[in-house]
Structure 1
């Protein structure tokens, strides 16, 4: 990437501080055309937590003219022409979430709201948004360059299991008919691609950008050599047979082993007569680059067009409230939970902002008239990871065959909260800040491994308000292994340490554990184990997450194949695992965990009878049941 200071070369001189959303905005700037038009499945919020704003501001800082089309009406062809044909390309993202996840619950029911839409109103983001948006743009402008990116593109860049259609679908690069796919967080790859386009290189000739996927219908175009791996083909992995599912799992393992910028190979997947080629990931942002991109001149407001017309009786975009007074301090996660796809999107290497940048942002937030004195979060995918897991990662990249944390933590893992503790101390000292909360996921297993309890004391003393949410996810160690989570005994150790620390501080603060029902490997037996633990501890959760097979995660691979890709039989085949399928069985597991709810009584009884545990009916439902 150009050096970080280049991010701030050019800002908008227009009276309207937002990026253009209409011709009038372009006219005010004296533009006859945009260089790039960013089409997003989210409403337009000019905040760095929203990709259209972050990448749009980044391109703007480098002198490119960028316009935004937010949640266009796909029934209206003119919705895609409001800014005209861009000089270089349309950039398309489904938004902060995969469009199918945004539109449907884990039980495949339409969602009643969308936090990333105007007024929180559902229905403004089409299903399979990248495919729909690209199609509409192609109708409007024949031959225009289209580049897709964001979470939907990242996690569907190769053939993938699609829960909603219950089948394996091709790479979304092929299904959308886009010209290029940028995966990952995108800053490095979008700038390199923009500069190549601006130099006159046609989009179909851009094949060297890290963090990109391109395709060709010619075998001769496919890279060859020791640094190139051919994945099983779409035809192999899409077969609904034991062999097809085995090939799907094999492909997943290869992809997961090649998500690090330092040691990843080029990956190639054939789909009929075409080949999808994935270049190695873009290099992580340096601290200087991360600081710079987060400090571009965002207004940190939703666009005022949302004030003109209410949706659901409301104006604004609800998702902004979740991040408005929060600080993004890190990216990446070496926790690599099976049900999380951050490894495929952000990678396992930790990228951290400097203390100075975060203090500047906190001071800026504290000067806002709507600031009440509270910073709602300081973190990222995992709040208490601020440095790489080990020294080796800096030069050799993350291990392909070894996880850093999980059930069997790596002995080379460096456990150190000192930098995070020092950052929070500096933020607490700012004059207008009353309290700083930590809400974006703490890895309690990592915290338990820290022999220095200074951070735990600071956490309990300064950064919690009555309760701390943590995610043990399950009680059964066999399920936790498949989840790549720590063993249940680690959670019990943390629970005791947390309670003891609060007693020593004279504070009454509680743990609120979070559980997932119906994860692969979890049957009624394992769910009963969790329910008995909850009964013993006297905690029954109000909310339970049903496992959701979203693209790009190991858990989804387990769900589709019924296999554990990392556990082999003596003959070399992968071990089979139990998978709960169908809405009724999922309801049985959920009801067992929430056994105290009156509406669940009949389902709890049915589940216990089905599991051969009638002896527990009285335990959960009372003697008269």
Structure 2
């Protein structure tokens, strides 16, 4: 991170300079750290500028001009999501910054950092990546501008865009750059996007930026076409006109093999923040004693960006790789015997895959669970149960928890994992994400309906009671999601009361770039079905929906009453204003 550190390693220059909107934590959960360690293992000299002052060219020159190129990432979050709430109010903290301090990165960080690098080093090739670049690779709706914006590759004036997890693409780019090839000439690498003055004939043409910016129907059509091209096995390259130039998005990179994934996590991470920091980094404190077992998610939830970034194909590490990381983790000076999480985007997808290789090669589904589980999906839970059991029996491990979310609709087909989870790995609280219990809304969300959640609650409570355990479900819910009316949300509040559930936090829907829900929010239609949908657009209505989901809190009483009146549900919703949770004889209330 400094010239002195370069000198200590005997380096007179860098090969690659990586700029990140996050603080530098040498942990594989932080993307820039993982990519830097990978390049280092391939023999390249890598420097990291973490949260540099983009307004000061000298702050970017502290380690000199890199020999090959610079890479830019906004960090683990889109910078606009990082900075602003769903109500477009400025957040007061940043979990990826020392001391949780807000304001350490710029708005639209990919654009700002790229411009700063181009100004500090004339003619330096710059590539962009990370979740901000990945989800903004095509023309996209931007909630904060309330307008359609161009591809971030166009707006940043970078030479190349890498999307997805990008290890394979970055290695290929670096090797070819080291051989003398210009970044702008690299047009055949999977998982990349590039610009050309010509219109390639081999691409699936999407409506142009000008068309999607002017016409919501064209925006929905562009989303529909691109959504079908997510499978690396059969995806076609996409093209989208932007003025006199054409954006080309190459097919996604192939998923990493188990051996490749194991190699990444065996790299020599320190598992600590850079020693220059004198304040704790909240995001690190949450994951310092956690282990990533896999990546990818085949849930296909409409509001989630994971599938568009990590892909729907699950990539799992071997047991031996994870156990080796446990060995190393137990040597950490602050380790006290507790592993806080073993999981991934969805914990109980570890080791799962498509059971039909031929079907996987031609599949165009965005997820494997909606509207019903794919017949080819293999959900054998023995591998996951064996992994947790082996980690639990480690001589230096006292406790193991699964803190990542789980898909409760999978648990009904994973009885051994369900039992193991309840009896040993949740510490009394199990986090699940129904997001809504309105059948109409869960259909828009691409989530399982209320009956599946009811069945799960019943099994959870019966199994916990049979084991003599006082345990509770913590449900995560979204207020103001497209398709949800006030009346729908009244139904959810009544469901919560009937089933003895209280929620402590409710997420207000934020339209983030690249998701199906955001497309619906912008256009008012589901682009995959053409159905016209209700969208709550005012801050007041979202606030009322949120209050309904928090109906049990006294401070929400006035808003709940107003919401019931506006929905015409005052009579049946009166029970929400009575206070307390209805109780069945002999049963305690549930959170």
TM over 0.5: yes
2:557 to 583, 589, 601: 601
Aligned match of 2:434: 472
Structure 1 residue 528 corresponds to structure 2 residue 490: yes
Which residue does the alignment assign to 1:490?
452
After TM superposition, give the deviation of residue 258 of structure 1 in Å: 1.0
Partner of 1:502: 464
1:257 aligns with 2:228: yes
Does residue 420 in structure 1 map to residue 395 in structure 2? no
Deviation at 1:616, TM superposition (A): 3.5
Asked whether 1:514 is paired with 2:489, we answer no
In 2, the alpha carbon distance for the partners of 1:557 and 1:576 equals 12
Instruction: Work out whether 1:236 is the aligned partner of 2:211.
Output: yes
Partner of 1:35: 15
Q: Please list the CA deviations of residues 39-68 of structure 1 after superposition, one character each: whole Å capped at 9, or x if unmatched.
A: 000001111111111000100000111001
Q: Which residue is equivalent to 2:582?
A: none
Q: After the TM superposition, which residues 58-97 of structure 1 pair with which residues of structure 2 at under 5 Å, given as runs?
A: 58-97=38-77
Give 1:469 deviation, angstroms: 1.1
Which of the residues 285, 297, 317 maps onto 1:321?
285
Residue 303 of structure 1, aligned match among 274, 286, 290:
274
Q: Is residue 291 from structure 1 mapped to residue 265 from structure 2 by the alignment?
A: no
For 1:160 and 1:192, locate their aligned partners in 2 and report how far apart those are by CA, in whole Å: 27
- Structure 2 gap segments, 5+ residues each: 580-591
Distance 2:325 2:139 in 1: 40
What is residue 526 of structure 2 aligned with on the other side? Answer: 564
CA distance in 1 between partners of 2:176 and 2:238 (Å): 23
Question: Does the alignment pair 1:575 with 2:531?
Answer: yes
Counterpart mapping for 1:138-157 below 5 A: 138-157=118-137
The offset of 1:537, in angstroms, is: 2.2
1:130 Cα deviation after fit: 0.5
SS at match of 2:473: strand
Secondary structure of residue in 1 paired with 2:277: helix
Residue 390 of structure 1 pairs with residue 365 of structure 2: no
Q: 2:117 aligns with which of 109, 130, 137?
A: 137
- 1:193 maps to 173
Distance in 2 (alpha carbons) for counterparts of 1:604 and 1:322: 34
> What is the alpha-carbon distance in structure 1 between the residues aligned to residue 401 and residue 578 of structure 2?
40
Whether contact under 8 Å (2:21, 2:51) holds in the other structure is yes
Whole-Å separation in 1 of the counterparts to 2:446 and 2:484? 14
Aligned pairs for 1:161-180 within 5 A: 161-180=141-160
Match of residue 107 from structure 1: 87
The counterpart of 2:4, out of the listed 3, 14, 24, is: 24
Quick one: which of 583, 603, 615 aligns to 2:571? 615
Asked if structure 1 preserves the Cα contact closer than 8 Å seen for 2:55 and 2:116, the reply is: no
State the Cα deviation string for residues 534-593 of structure 1 (Å, max 9, x = none): 1212323121111111111111111111101222xxxxxx11100001110100101111
Per-residue deviation at 1:412?
2.5
State which drifts further: 251-260 or 58-67.
251-260
CA distance in 1 between counterparts of 2:259 and 2:438 reads 43
Take 2:112 and 2:491, find their aligned partners in 1: how far apart are those partners? 45
Aligned to 1:547: 509
Q: What is the alpha-carbon distance in structure 2 between the residues aligned to residue 607 and residue 292 of structure 1?
A: 54
Residues in 2 aligned to 1:89 and 1:250: alpha-carbon distance in whole angstroms: 36
CA distance in 2, matches of 1:546, 1:447: 27
Work out the CA distance in 1 between the residues paired with 2:158 and 2:546. Answer: 40
- CA shift for structure 1 position 617: 5.1
- The reply on whether 1:379 has 2:343 as its aligned counterpart is yes
Instruction: Work out whether 1:588 is the aligned partner of 2:544.
Output: yes
**2:334 paired residue number:** 370
User: 1:255: Cα distance to partner?
Assistant: 1.5
Secondary structure of 1:479 counterpart: helix
* SS of structure 2 residue aligned to 1:456: helix
Question: For the residues of structure 2 that align with 1:285 and 1:118, how far apart are their CA atoms?
Answer: 32
3-state SS, counterpart of residue 70 of structure 2: strand
Q: SS at the partner of 2:342?
A: strand
C-alpha contact (below 8 Å) 2:312/2:367 kept by paired residues? no
- The 5 A counterparts of 1:438-449 are 438-449=402-413
Residue number among 295, 298, 311 corresponding to 1:331 in the alignment: 295
Alpha-carbon contact 1:38-1:68 (below 8 Å) kept: yes
Picking from 262, 280, 284, the partner of 2:251 is: 280
CA contact (8 A) 1:156 1:551 kept: yes
- Aligned partners of 1:480 and 1:261: how far apart in 2? 28
Write the distance in 1 (CA, Å) between the matches of 2:147 and 2:361.
34
Q: Cα distance, 1:402 vs. partner?
A: 6.6
Give the equivalent residue in structure 2 for 1:3: none
Instruction: Verify the 8 A CA contact 1:263 1:396 in the aligned structure 2.
Output: no
**Cα distance in structure 2, aligned partners of 1:537 and 1:396:** 39
Instruction: Tell me the equivalent position of 1:345.
Output: 309
- Distance in 2 (alpha carbons) for counterparts of 1:395 and 1:601: 52
Q: Which residue of 1 aligns with 2:587?
A: none
Aligned residues of 1:148 and 1:178 also touching (Cα < 8 A): yes
Q: Distance in 2 between matches of 1:510 and 1:520?
A: 29
2:341 and 2:401 in contact (8 A); partners too: yes
Alpha-carbon distance in 2 for matches of 1:374, 1:398: 43
Distance 1:142 1:436 in 2: 51
2:91 match: secondary structure? coil
CA distance in 2 between partners of 1:141 and 1:420 (Å): 49
What SS does the aligned partner of 1:86 have? coil
Q: How large is the Cα RMSD of the aligned pairs?
A: 1.4
Residues of 2 paired with 1:415 and 1:508: CA distance? 28
Aligned to 2:324: 360
Q: Distance in 2 between matches of 1:120 and 1:151?
A: 20
Aligned residues: 579
Following superposition, the deviation at residue 516 of structure 1 comes to 0.7
- Residues 394, 422 of structure 1: alpha-carbon distance in 2 compared, 3 angstrom cutoff: farther
Residues in 2 aligned to 1:148 and 1:593: alpha-carbon distance in whole angstroms: 39
- Check the 8 A contact 1:407/1:487 in 2, yes or no: no
